[in-house]
Amino acid sequence: MILEAQHIEKKFGDFRALDDVSVSVRQGTIFGLLGPNGAGKTTLIRLINRISRPDKGVILLDGRPMTDGDVQRIGYLPEERGLYKKMKVGEQAVYLAQLKGLSRREAEKRLIQWFEKFEIASWWNRPVEELSKGMQQKVQFIVTVLHEPSLLIFDEPFSGFDPVNATLLKNEILALRKKGATVIFSTHNMASVEELCDDIALINKSKVVLSGSVSHIRRSYSRNLFEVVTLAIDSPLSLSAEYRIQSHRTLEGEEIYRIALSEGCSANSLLSAIMPQRQIVSINELLPSMNDIFVETVKEGGAE
């Protein structure tokens, strides 16, 4: 575990923003922090960044309590992100990198590489206010990863990104994991969770209501629903009551069935029931999407 938050509590006045929250993030994985608005994601992220302190509980980095010096190992892209509008792009990026402990020369060297990679090198000497929003986001991303932190935290990274930049960001996040970095990001975008995340924690109303690996969670929410594709023939498919056909359509000489299995039935038995009647092309279990799980879990807990 690179990062562990244990029994964290944080109050703002009477309002309990985090209540006995524990999460653990495995080294070299992408960790999704999910939850509806106001659930406490940003509060937890700020605690990890040591911008504020928990009222109770500890945060461990590599198994020992975090210290102020550890923030150098973190790259943080906040949800509310901005830059000094009047300052020149390159100068500002160098300044922010220096604050993260890089030397001026090293910062400039790395920045030039990144700027060229993101095709914004010609903007080095322009004030930030002349940049488009997408370009500013690129600059912010570069500044976040420039000091090659082992732990990266992105708070709602995809909000406000256009699809081109969002894809760019997605690829960069995957590249970072490949290089051995650990990434935590909070998001509403469930499609990106399925695509990117190894593990997640779902926070609702200041508590962790669901956590674990994405595949494990989706399996545990399995509704025993299968999609079977067969070659089309005229006679109808007849199955016993244990196999309920939810939908059926024919597409280019293939029939696609969506079949719900009752308790105790397995895919194998379904196959043996179909096999005498049809030529099977494929069978897939239909796992619930993270979006479905999210909505279901949050509804159970009673959204605000």
Partner 1 sequence: MNKILLVIRREYMTRVRKTSFWLLTLLVPIMLAALYAIPIYLAMKPLEKSVVLVADESGIFGGLDRDDTLRSDSHFASSDDITYRYAATLDYAKRQMSNDKDITAILYVRSRASEAIPTDACLYYKSDLPPQQVRYDVDKQLQRILRNRLLQAHGISDDEYALISNTKINLRTEDLETGRAAFLEVKMGLGLILAMLIYIVIFMFGSQVMRGVVEEKSSRIIEVIVCSVKPFQLMMGKVIGIAMVGLTQFLLWVVLTGVALVGIQASNSELFQMATQKHEVTELATKGSEAALQMQQADQLADIPQLVEGITSIDFGVILPTFLFYFIFGYLLYATLFAAAGALSDNDTDSQLFSLPLTIPLLITILCMPAMINAPSGTLSVVLSMIPFTSPVAMMLRIPFGVPIPQLWWSMALLVIAFPLCTWLAAKLYRSSILRFNRLTFRRKKR
- Interaction site with partner 1 (CB under 8 A): 12-13, 15, 38, 46, 49-52, 68, 71-72, 74, 76, 78, 80-87, 95-96, 98-101, 140, 143
The residue among 79 and 285 lying less far from partner 1, judged by its C-beta, is 79
The residue among 38 and 301 lying less far from partner 1, judged by its C-beta, is 38
Q: What is the DSSP letter of 88?
A: B
CB of 182 to partner 1, least distance (A): 17
Between CA 91 and CA 143 the distance in angstroms is: 12
Cβ(187)–Cβ(193) below 8 Å: yes
Classified as helix, coil or strand, 1 is: coil
Classified as helix, coil or strand, 275 is: coil
The residue among 51 and 271 lying less far from partner 1, judged by its C-beta, is 51
CB of 69 to partner 1, least distance (A): 11
Task: For residue 172, give every residue at least 6 positions away whose Cβ sits within 8 Å of its Cβ, in sequence order, or none.
Answer: 141, 145
The residue among 46 and 218 lying less far from partner 1, judged by its C-beta, is 46
Phi first, then psi: what are they for 289, rounded to 5°?
Answer: -75, 160
The residue among 108 and 227 lying less far from partner 1, judged by its C-beta, is 108
CB of 85 to partner 1, least distance (A): 6
The residue among 78 and 288 lying less far from partner 1, judged by its C-beta, is 78
CB of 207 to partner 1, least distance (A): 16
Question: Which tokens belong to 281?
Answer: 């092309």
Between CA 170 and CA 17 the distance in angstroms is: 29
CB of 258 to partner 1, least distance (A): 41
The residue among 152 and 293 lying less far from partner 1, judged by its C-beta, is 152
Cβ(282)–Cβ(228) below 8 Å: yes
Cβ(252)–Cβ(259) below 8 Å: no
Q: How far is CA 16 from CA 42, 91, 186, in A?
A: 13, 40, 20
CB of 221 to partner 1, least distance (A): 30
CB of 95 to partner 1, least distance (A): 5
CB atoms inside a 10 Å sphere around CB 97: 21
